[in-house]
Structure 1
Amino acid sequence: MWLQRLCPLIQPTRMLPFTIVIPLLLLTILLVGVMKLRRRTTTHQYNLPPGSSGWPIVGESLELFRGNSEGVPEKFIVDRIERYGSHVFRTSLFGEPMAVLCGPAGNKFLFSNEGKKVGLWWPASVRRLMGPSLVSKSGEEAKAQKKMMMMGLFSLEGLVKCIPIMDEVTRHHLATHWQGQGEMKALPIIKHYTFEMACRLFMNITEPQLVSRLFTLFNVFIKGVISMDINLPGTRFYRAMRAADAIRKELRALVKQRRTAPDQLDILSYLQVNADDNRKFMPENEVVNNMLNLLFAGHDTSSSTLTLIMKYLAELPGVHEKVLKEQREIAASKAGGELLNWDDLQRMRYTWNVVSEVLRMTSPVNGSFREALVDIDLEGYTIPKGWKLLWSAAFTHKDDSLHQKAMEFDESRFEGSGPPPFSYVPFGGGPRMCLGKEFARMEILVFLHNLVNHFDWELLIPNEKISYDPMPTPVQGLPIRLRPRVRAV
């Protein structure tokens, strides 16, 4: 039975039929079984959290993936909390023993113990695709890299300079790809928009052919980021590895080209030059891996959020009307052709409350992983050193005890003091809170300002299903009927 469940993850090809794949899997299972037996002898003395290790190799990963594909990522956790009666439980995911810490208390523990009791960890698929040196940075090394990033584009001064550029790029995008359209799928167009924006602001790439090549490769790459790291032809991971190699080749050529003219004001320039050592070049592979990571993180979550905002606004006309009213007032205060600025974005309070509620209802990042650096005692249980840890934004965001009527859309939750501490965590928290949080806020608000002032839309598939792969997206790409707004500003 478990083998039948695993087989869909591997699509056999002429190069590698099942007659070869299955013996390889059986051999792997035997080896993993021996390793697990040895592991049990080292953890029997601990009072472990309640839970189950699931199937050989895959553990309970398939149940986790199933909840994502069904659009209920929190189901995996809710089912086990009800089964074990504990907000701390153990499981096995991606071939690793793992403790899941749920709710505000779990979030607070992980966010406040970064570098002390817990450290960064990612599944093997992420480490192999992103590069081990990039995803394993911790302690002072991670702080130094974050500081360098904050000195560049992600500083307040750098972000303020980005707003007019964002507005200009957005206006051109809507005029080119939206104006005159009747029916269209919003998701693929928005994904191209956010990727184009990331290329422009992170690396000053304006060549359409290069943007399109990278965009096509990234769509393949992203599908394999959170997957079983089975590098066999026909699997998602195999295709993602090939795409990652091609992306790195393109980025490496760009890095070599830029080193002959390193003074452009973008993230690539800041990464290439170490400001503390008189313009010393960062190693090429590290620059490339950093840019790959930034392009990945800098566009896919935003495109998911923007698409879902359009879905919610179409389903909630009262909310849509209030957003339009706020954005019309801001547009009316601008001179003809004048671009948005920082002060304009600070006036978009209601719109950001709506965005925040969309992020709560369908967080673009379900959670993240850590590793226990020491034996951890928590709620009467011991989590052994070396075990992996998982926290879940989706579970915390859907908890009725933290958010009244959690399954109902209510943007007023974010008025005043907002939700309870550590109960709303779409950007993570602690030292590893998302570096691009403010960048994402700006990009989303600039896009919505232009969109609602110039277009209205209706959904062609009401109540379209949402799946997580790995970001939450409408399964049909959000088909819409677009109409120019008669009284566009």
Structure 2
Amino acid sequence: MDLFFSYLLYLIVLSTISLGIIFLPYNHKSSNSKLPPGRKGWPIIGETMQFALAAQRGNPERFINDRMNKYSPEVFRTSLMEENMAVMCGAPGNKFLFSNENKLVTSWWHCSMKKILYFPSLFDNPATQDQIKTPSFLPEFLKPEALKHYVAIMDLMAGMHIDMDWAPYREVKVFPLAKKYAFALSCRLFMKVDDPQCVARISHPFELIMAGFLSVPLDIPGTAFNRAIKARNIVHKELLAIINKRKMELAQKGNSAARDLLSHMLLEANKNGEIMSETEISTHLICLLLATHDSTSAVITFVLKYLAEFPSIYNEVLKEQMEIAKSKGPEEYLNWDDIQKMRYSWNVANETMRLTPPVQGAFREVIKNFTYAGFTIPKGWKTHWNVNTTHRNPKYFPDPEKFDPSRFEGRGPEPFTFVPFGGGPRMCPGREYARAQVLVFIHNIVTKFKWERLDPNEKISYNPSPIPAKGFPICLQPLENIY
């Protein structure tokens, strides 16, 4: 059962037991006429049911579009996850939220997410939570200047992964293999962990962590939240062993011990005065691994989906990637300059993220009353920006259901309309990392194979990233057998 439905199930059971009655949904009515138009839905659970159903059925944009059409194309009010929620719509809504980070709004995570990520000593300290979300040294590590050193490792690992898990088989399931590759790469680059058994011990519990993220925070046996807490503890134990080993290596060898994010954290954080405990470092790593667990693997999966559906686009990507491959020596790996040459391939990836975004949006908490589009958004409310208010909006993208990479040529879409990585101070710091990872994988898979979908009618659900119901099975055709 997906994370939304596990959350809803427990909420419904709890509310039924505690209240002993069945409520009827009701529209929002308030003496304050300046609140955004909308409805609260059911008591306690609000409209979370409808929100989850739309995602489960593969059209999360329906929840957004129906309310934009009914109430307002600028902002509407709903109730999600027990919170009063103002959904800011369109490019103006995105711009407003992104531009007012830490002025009118600040980042907000559901309490179950925070309790799973943070240990009790960190959960009770808001200052520590903010530091864990945005450590000062993280953006520096993920900038192109730093990432260019890791493109060759990405290329090496992508080639090894394809040779081991793809090439020996005629049929494969893309999504689980893409997740395996993305997670192994994160472990290698973030912590220099490449032992398959160690990676497996870390990766397997992450499925339970993800499943419990939006569950009701009831830490009793059998609940998704309880399983997520136990899984977090398992991961934490593994990470602490890695951290302690690295600290010993650094004490003995200094900067030459390793060149990865973990060493960077241990060395640079103290240099910048950000003294962190081992628990905090472990939490940083868990957050980063979670961020790469489903997102980039979803992009890779659906890029392959669209390339299978549109042979002409596949041929253009193949042409671009073959030109790069021919420019390399037999034992020469990709470099940062090669990534910059993959313009058309990145346009394809962008159009993939427009139609099948790896993240649906994010939430903010209102820290100061403000007025938007003539409506008052009170302090304490939550706000939500959602990619579907722009990505499939014909106002911004004509013929929005058409897969057309040319939308991203030249200057590309208008500002604040294409937002798979968010925007403003909270824009995803890993966007360049994701770009390099996706393009390196595209290069390796396209230059070796062509493929066909085995189930053209496979359903897609969102949880919250897009998930193909059957893992997106394909039939591989080695290029050497075609050309």
The reply to whether residue 442 of structure 1 matches residue 436 of structure 2 is: yes
Matches within 5 A, 1:290-329: 290-329=284-323
Distance 1:275 1:391 in 2: 32
Aligned residue for 2:447, secondary structure, equals helix
Go from structure 1 to structure 2 and tell me whether the alpha carbon gap of 1:101 and 1:398 turns closer, same or farther (over 3 Å shift): same
Aligned residue for 2:249, secondary structure, equals coil
Q: For residue 15 of structure 1, what is the aligned residue in structure 2? A: none
The reply to whether residue 168 of structure 1 matches residue 156 of structure 2 is: yes
| Counterpart contact for 1:29–1:56, Cα < 8 Å | no
The reply to whether residue 215 of structure 1 matches residue 203 of structure 2 is: yes
Q: For residue 75 of structure 1, what is the aligned residue in structure 2? A: 62
Report the CA distance between 1:218 and its aligned residue. Answer: 0.9
Using the size of structure 2 for normalisation, the TM-score is 0.90
Q: For residue 404 of structure 1, what is the aligned residue in structure 2? A: 398
AA paired with 2:74?
Answer: H
The reply to whether residue 117 of structure 1 matches residue 111 of structure 2 is: no
Bigger Cα displacement from structure 2, 217-226 vs 358-367: 217-226
RMSD, aligned CA = 2.9
Aligned residue for 2:455, secondary structure, equals coil
Report the CA distance between 1:121 and its aligned residue. Answer: 0.4
| Counterpart contact for 2:187–2:194, Cα < 8 Å | yes
Distance 1:424 1:437 in 2: 13
Q: Which of residues 185, 208, 222 is equivalent to 1:197?
A: 185
Distance 1:371 1:279 in 2: 29
Report the CA distance between 1:485 and its aligned residue. Answer: 1.3
Aligned residue for 1:426, secondary structure, equals coil
AA paired with 1:102?
Answer: C
Structure 2 alignment gaps of length 5 or more: none
Q: Which of residues 334, 351, 364 is equivalent to 1:357?
A: 351
Q: For residue 85 of structure 1, what is the aligned residue in structure 2? A: 72
| Counterpart contact for 2:123–2:129, Cα < 8 Å | no
Q: For residues 260-305 of structure 1, give each alpha carbon's deviation from its aligned partner in whole angstroms, at most 9, with x where no partner exists.
A: 1234221112222345648875112211111000001123200011
Distance 1:105 1:169 in 2: 41
Bigger Cα displacement from structure 2, 184-193 vs 77-86: 77-86
Q: For residues 361-407 of structure 1, give each alpha carbon's deviation from its aligned partner in whole angstroms, at most 9, with x where no partner exists.
A: 01101000001110111111101001000000123101011100011
Q: For residue 243 of structure 1, what is the aligned residue in structure 2? A: 231
Percent sequence identity over aligned pairs? 42
Aligned residue for 1:458, secondary structure, equals strand
Aligned residue for 1:179, secondary structure, equals coil
The reply to whether residue 64 of structure 1 matches residue 74 of structure 2 is: no
AA paired with 1:115?
Answer: N
The reply to whether residue 148 of structure 1 matches residue 137 of structure 2 is: yes
Report the CA distance between 1:144 and its aligned residue. Answer: 10
Bigger Cα displacement from structure 2, 245-254 vs 274-283: 274-283
Go from structure 1 to structure 2 and tell me whether the alpha carbon gap of 1:27 and 1:180 turns closer, same or farther (over 3 Å shift): closer
The reply to whether residue 128 of structure 1 matches residue 115 of structure 2 is: yes
| Counterpart contact for 2:422–2:428, Cα < 8 Å | yes
Q: For residue 283 of structure 1, what is the aligned residue in structure 2? A: 277
Go from structure 1 to structure 2 and tell me whether the alpha carbon gap of 1:139 and 1:423 turns closer, same or farther (over 3 Å shift): farther
Report the CA distance between 1:253 and its aligned residue. Answer: 2.0
Go from structure 1 to structure 2 and tell me whether the alpha carbon gap of 1:246 and 1:29 turns closer, same or farther (over 3 Å shift): farther
Q: For residues 8-61 of structure 1, give each alpha carbon's deviation from its aligned partner in whole angstroms, at most 9, with x where no partner exists.
A: 9548xxxxxx9xx95x5446558xx9xxxxxx99x8546211111111221111
Go from structure 1 to structure 2 and tell me whether the alpha carbon gap of 1:247 and 1:412 turns closer, same or farther (over 3 Å shift): same
Q: For residues 125-151 of structure 1, give each alpha carbon's deviation from its aligned partner in whole angstroms, at most 9, with x where no partner exists.
A: 221222285899789965994431133
Q: Which of residues 375, 381, 384 is equivalent to 1:387?
A: 381
Bigger Cα displacement from structure 2, 263-272 vs 448-457: 263-272
| Counterpart contact for 1:125–1:225, Cα < 8 Å | yes
| Counterpart contact for 2:362–2:384, Cα < 8 Å | yes
Q: For residue 247 of structure 2, what is the aligned residue in structure 1? A: 259
Distance 1:278 1:101 in 2: 37
The reply to whether residue 470 of structure 1 matches residue 464 of structure 2 is: yes
Q: For residue 179 of structure 1, what is the aligned residue in structure 2? A: 167
Aligned residue for 2:353, secondary structure, equals helix
Report the CA distance between 1:183 and its aligned residue. Answer: 1.3
Matches within 5 A, 1:395-434: 395-434=389-428
| Counterpart contact for 2:347–2:409, Cα < 8 Å | yes
Report the CA distance between 1:213 and its aligned residue. Answer: 1.4
| Counterpart contact for 1:454–1:488, Cα < 8 Å | no
| Counterpart contact for 2:48–2:79, Cα < 8 Å | yes
AA paired with 1:110?
Answer: L
Distance 1:126 1:144 in 2: 12
Q: For residue 14 of structure 1, what is the aligned residue in structure 2? A: none
| Counterpart contact for 1:59–1:91, Cα < 8 Å | yes
Q: Which of residues 354, 362, 369 is equivalent to 1:375?
A: 369
| Counterpart contact for 1:460–1:481, Cα < 8 Å | yes
Aligned residue for 2:477, secondary structure, equals strand
The reply to whether residue 104 of structure 1 matches residue 91 of structure 2 is: yes
Distance 1:218 1:140 in 2: 21
AA paired with 1:165?
Answer: I
Aligned residue for 1:219, secondary structure, equals helix
Bigger Cα displacement from structure 2, 249-258 vs 266-275: 266-275
Using the size of structure 1 for normalisation, the TM-score is 0.89
| Counterpart contact for 1:119–1:138, Cα < 8 Å | no
AA paired with 1:249?
Answer: K
Aligned residue for 2:442, secondary structure, equals helix
Distance 1:125 1:143 in 2: 17
